[in-house]
Amino acid sequence: MIVELISVGTEILMGNIVNTNAAYLAEQCTMLGYSVYYQTTVGDNEKRLSDAIKTAMTRADIILLSGGLGPTMDDITKETVAKVCGLKLIEDEKVREHIKRYFINRKIKKITDNNWKQTLVPEGAKVVENSNGTAPGIIVETKDCKIILMPGPPNELTVMMEEKIIPYLKKLQTNVFYTSMVKMSGIGESYVENQLMDLMKEQTNPTIAPYAKEGEVHIRVTAQGKSKEEAMALVQPAVKEIYHRFGEFVFTDKEDVTLEQNVIELLKKHGATLSTVESCTGGLLTGRLVNVSGASSVIKQGLITYSNEAKMTLVDVQENTLNEYGAVSEQTAKEMAQGAVKRYHTDIAISITGIAGPEGGSKEKPVGLVYIGCCIGKHVFAKEFHFTGNRSKIREASVANALTVLRHAVLEVYEGKVIENKSEQ
Amino acid sequence: MIVELISVGTEILMGNIVNTNAAYLAEQCTMLGYSVYYQTTVGDNEKRLSDAIKTAMTRADIILLSGGLGPTMDDITKETVAKVCGLKLIEDEKVREHIKRYFINRKIKKITDNNWKQTLVPEGAKVVENSNGTAPGIIVETKDCKIILMPGPPNELTVMMEEKIIPYLKKLQTNVFYTSMVKMSGIGESYVENQLMDLMKEQTNPTIAPYAKEGEVHIRVTAQGKSKEEAMALVQPAVKEIYHRFGEFVFTDKEDVTLEQNVIELLKKHGATLSTVESCTGGLLTGRLVNVSGASSVIKQGLITYSNEAKMTLVDVQENTLNEYGAVSEQTAKEMAQGAVKRYHTDIAISITGIAGPEGGSKEKPVGLVYIGCCIGKHVFAKEFHFTGNRSKIREASVANALTVLRHAVLEVYEGKVIENKSEQ
């Protein structure tokens, strides 16, 4: 089964935004066992969009269109698909209700007229609810081709894809695919790849492929079979082998489990509470942890100690320490964590202090130098990291590594596990 | 003059990597005044690549191909272009020298045989030096179309584009383009569009188009002229008119200025210091503010008061208030901000407390209910918001609106400006 992607939007065409939707959709389709042969981007232009749809209909079984479903007069994807397929647009009562509720929930009294354009749907098409916006998704099924329309904003598109379109695409697929995503942190990508070269080369079903994410390495293991059970049975030995080779560095083999979720679960399991103390990351670590629903039983508070003064007043870092070693030092990182545990009575504290740049670096303390401190029970320690890249990349790497430091500390101190240093971060 | 982009590479097609090259090339071409009508992505497959090139030749003056120039047998872009144009591949002596030097400089003694494949060039083509790699760029000029081949790795492509291809494209171009991006916050997209309908409809040079971002509305104004000055002169009246219509809601007309940057600059201008107090956003607001280089003169600390206890111990919210009104209430938001100003001696504090879901909602206080509090001088207030979407969308919307509340508070209290309520967030 062949899928073709068409991204609609002048802002993509002109390069104002990077087309992350195409990569996301292509990846999801590939995981479901579909082949993607072409991706096309066109602007909000009827003639060219119409040509792109007609061409795609001659060479694909399924067309995934994204963008151009909104309320503005620029948005013409739905209208163009209807025209190409010779379908009338008719009003959908459910969509009208959905839009009304959307605005009522937001306490917006005046709904501008152009919003009602979104209630029109090609005759006979399936309407797909949009949990994150007003424009519904639409599925038009012609004799030879299924045309699926999704809204362009990534937070609307990804949620609709996961909730509605993936289940729909799964039903169309005869072979069943099963994927495990083995995720590790605290270990280098090239090291992992070298250690898995033999498996990656010899396998065709399952296929094994690595993907790097900031501070993490993901290994995707995918197999196809006549049934889910058959595909799973092919995936499992490979997953087991990866666990065997990388042990505690693996934190999950499930696609939808994140590192922060794993850390929160681990802390919950031990009934441990956590304080965070962030300097250069300015709240990003806590932001990631708090995004886990139910994090509140673990995290009571976070401190963003961006200035020296805040480090002293909020977590009792000694003035001497700051003068002698500086704000970015092993000593300061340790005192930040220790101070938080003492003052806020949590079981564990994790701290980050570093130089994210572009200013503030020196020869002795260059941009990218980051200390991650941890206080857990009687143990207090800090680790030194050297990250590269721009300000936001250094901050992201700091957060990912802080999560790993925290995870490993819990495994070592609470569970008595030994974690070797295989890191090449 | 019409440009078409063709990205070649199975890893893009399968979604393993995001196609940042396409956005970069499209943006550069647009800035040079070229129109990009189509972007296509194909894999390393001769038939499909050849079809894509032939199609592009019928509808574009210039084709920019990226990827598939490397030494491996997968790389077939050059070979396919030569075939489509009926040109022989012949060895280029300069390229051979370049590759030799490249390996010598990197102290690599053994050059594997497949590298010499890169010395072959279509007969009559221009060779473009690659400062960051071995595969040269190539320009094939046919009667109706210029075909430009560039390597896929972004660090090779961008440097080649800047050093060699942009000067080449400039020579072919007679018109110059100029763009302003007018950005607003605290105002609804459909409201803005309604108010601009007359301008958007009547204009062709400049063109005016809106783009929505979480909590912001961006209006792009682009004009073309014989010189940069001429294009600018066409853009400016439209930009002025937008400022006139939306006043204080506009925070910049520059593409690269973000809302958080604008807020930090505004606080700096007034020499004001800021505390942040976050509950459901868990540090995201502070994270965005701290991502502005030099934020440290404005933000001394941030407090993440995720639990009731933290709200009491860190920012002195009264136990009574929490019992009587609840953690998510106007009163609590106000006390959070007021407590931070008193306790940490900053000029301003901004607070966020809300229900991000998916759990924790009730009939009286549904998921999406968020209060943003602000204490500035003698003024303390809180605003109620109702956001929709999933947990992370509600958190993002909260952060964007907190930045706007802060910005408007500074404009009103420090600058005596009056800001009407035009919000439909």
| Cβ contacts of A27 on chain B, cutoff 8 Å | 14-16
Could A74 and B209 be called an inter-chain contact, meaning their C-beta atoms sit closer than 8 Å? yes
Looking up tokens 């070229």 gives B34
Would you place residue A422 in the very low, low, confident or very high pLDDT band (cuts 50, 70, 90)? low
Q: Which B residues, 380 through 419, put their C-beta within 8 Å of a C-beta on chain A?
A: 384, 386-393, 395-396
The answer, yes or no, to whether residue A337 has pLDDT greater than 50, is yes
| Cβ contacts of A52 on chain B, cutoff 8 Å | 38
Give the span between the Cα atoms of B18 and B243, in whole angstroms.
Answer: 35
Helices and strands (H and E) in chain B: how many:
15, 17
Q: Strand B62-66 to strand B2-8: parallel, antiparallel, or no bridges (unpaired)?
A: parallel
Give the span between the Cα atoms of B95 and B73, in whole angstroms.
Answer: 19
Say which residues have a Cβ less than 8 Å from residue A320's Cβ, sequence separation at least 6. Answer: none
Would you place residue A331 in the very low, low, confident or very high pLDDT band (cuts 50, 70, 90)? very high
- Chosen from A66, A98, A306 to mutate, greatest number of chain B CBs within 10 A: A306
Q: Which of B22, B56, B30, B13 is nearest to A41 (CA)?
A: B22
Could A131 and B389 be called an inter-chain contact, meaning their C-beta atoms sit closer than 8 Å? yes
- Chosen from A10, A42, A102, A106 to mutate, greatest number of chain B CBs within 10 A: A106
How far, rounded to the nearest angstrom, does the alpha carbon of residue A225 sit from its chain's CA centroid?
28
- Chosen from A301, A308, A346 to mutate, greatest number of chain B CBs within 10 A: A301
Which member of A105, A132, A307 has the closest CB to residue B301? A307
Give CA torsion, residues A355, A359, A360, A362, to 10 deg.
100
Interval A13-39 mean pLDDT: 91
Which member of A37, A72, A344 has the closest CB to residue B210? A72
| Cβ contacts of A36 on chain B, cutoff 8 Å | 13-15
Could A16 and B48 be called an inter-chain contact, meaning their C-beta atoms sit closer than 8 Å? no
CA distance A420 to chain B (A): 30
Give the span between the Cα atoms of B250 and B259, in whole angstroms.
Answer: 10
How high is the pLDDT of residue B214? 81
Chain B residue with minimal CA distance to A56?
Answer: B40
3-state secondary structure of A360: coil
pLDDT per residue, tens digit, chain B (425 aa), is 899 999 998 889 988 888 999 999 998 998 888 999 999 999 989 999 999 999 999 999 999 999 999 887 778 999 999 999 999 999 999 999 988 888 887 777 777 778 888 999 999 999 999 988 889 999 999 999 999 999 998 888 998 999 999 999 989 988 878 889 999 999 888 789 889 988 888 778 998 888 777 889 999 898 988 888 999 999 999 999 999 999 999 999 998 899 999 999 999 999 999 999 999 999 999 999 998 988 989 998 999 999 999 999 999 999 999 999 999 999 999 999 999 999 999 999 999 999 998 888 999 999 999 999 999 989 999 999 999 888 888 999 999 999 999 999 999 999 999 887 655 44
| Cβ contacts of B214 on chain A, cutoff 8 Å | 155
Give the sheet arrangement for strand A379-386, strand by strand: A379-386, A369-376, A348-354, A274-278, A299-305, B299-305, B274-278, B348-354, B369-376, B379-386
How high is the pLDDT of residue A114? 82
How high is the pLDDT of residue B212? 72
Which member of A17, A26, A294 has the closest CB to residue B14? A26
CA distance B13 to chain A (A): 6
Which member of A107, A159, A284 has the closest CB to residue B287? A284
Would you place residue A187 in the very low, low, confident or very high pLDDT band (cuts 50, 70, 90)? confident
Phi, psi (5° rounding) for residue A153? -60, 125
Say which residues have a Cβ less than 8 Å from residue B13's Cβ, sequence separation at least 6. Answer: A26, A36, A37, A38, A39, B41, B42, B43
| Cβ contacts of B37 on chain A, cutoff 8 Å | 13, 42-43, 45, 48
Neighbours of A5 (CB within 10 A): 27
Phi, psi (5° rounding) for residue B120? -80, 135
Question: Mind giving me the DSSP string for A381-407?
Answer: EEEEEE--SSHHHHHHHHHHHHHHHHH
Could A283 and B304 be called an inter-chain contact, meaning their C-beta atoms sit closer than 8 Å? yes
CA distance A419 to chain B (A): 30
Give the span between the Cα atoms of A342 and A277, in whole angstroms.
Answer: 13
Asked if B18 has any chain A CB less than 8 Å from its own CB, the reply is: yes
Q: What percent of chain A has pLDDT over 70?
A: 99
Q: Which B residues, 195 through 234, put their C-beta within 8 Å of a C-beta on chain A?
A: 209-212, 214, 220
Q: Which A residues, 156 through 175, put their C-beta within 8 Å of a C-beta on chain B?
A: 159
**Beta-carbon pairs below 8 A across chains A and B:** 269
| Size of chain A in residues | 425
Q: Which of A261, A310, A336 is nearest to B290 (CA)?
A: A310
Q: Where are the strands (E) in B43-104, listed by range?
A: 62-66, 89-91
DSSP B41: E
What separation in angstroms does the CA of B106 have from each of B128, B130, B132, B157?
A: 21, 15, 12, 20
Run of H or E including B146:
strand B146-150
Structure tokens at A244: 């065997």
Could B287 and A281 be called an inter-chain contact, meaning their C-beta atoms sit closer than 8 Å? yes
Asked if A148 has any chain B CB less than 8 Å from its own CB, the reply is: no
Chain B residue with minimal CA distance to A21?
Answer: B18
Give the span between the Cα atoms of B221 and A391, in whole angstroms.
Answer: 30
Asked if A12 has any chain B CB less than 8 Å from its own CB, the reply is: yes
Could A24 and B41 be called an inter-chain contact, meaning their C-beta atoms sit closer than 8 Å? no
Phi, psi (5° rounding) for residue B235? -75, -40
The answer, yes or no, to whether residue A283 has pLDDT greater than 50, is yes
- Tens digit of pLDDT for each residue in A69-81? 988 888 999 999 9
Which member of A112, A281, A306 has the closest CB to residue B190? A112
Q: Which of B322, B323, B333 is nearest to B280 (CA)?
A: B333
Could A392 and B291 be called an inter-chain contact, meaning their C-beta atoms sit closer than 8 Å? yes
Give the span between the Cα atoms of A146 and A162, in whole angstroms.
Answer: 18
Asked if A100 has any chain B CB less than 8 Å from its own CB, the reply is: no
How high is the pLDDT of residue A212? 67
Q: Which of A314, A305, A259 is nearest to A282 (CA)?
A: A305
Which member of B15, B209, B286 has the closest CB to residue A23? B15
DSSP A149: E
The residue with greater pLDDT, B5 or A189, is: B5
Looking up tokens 């893009």 gives B12
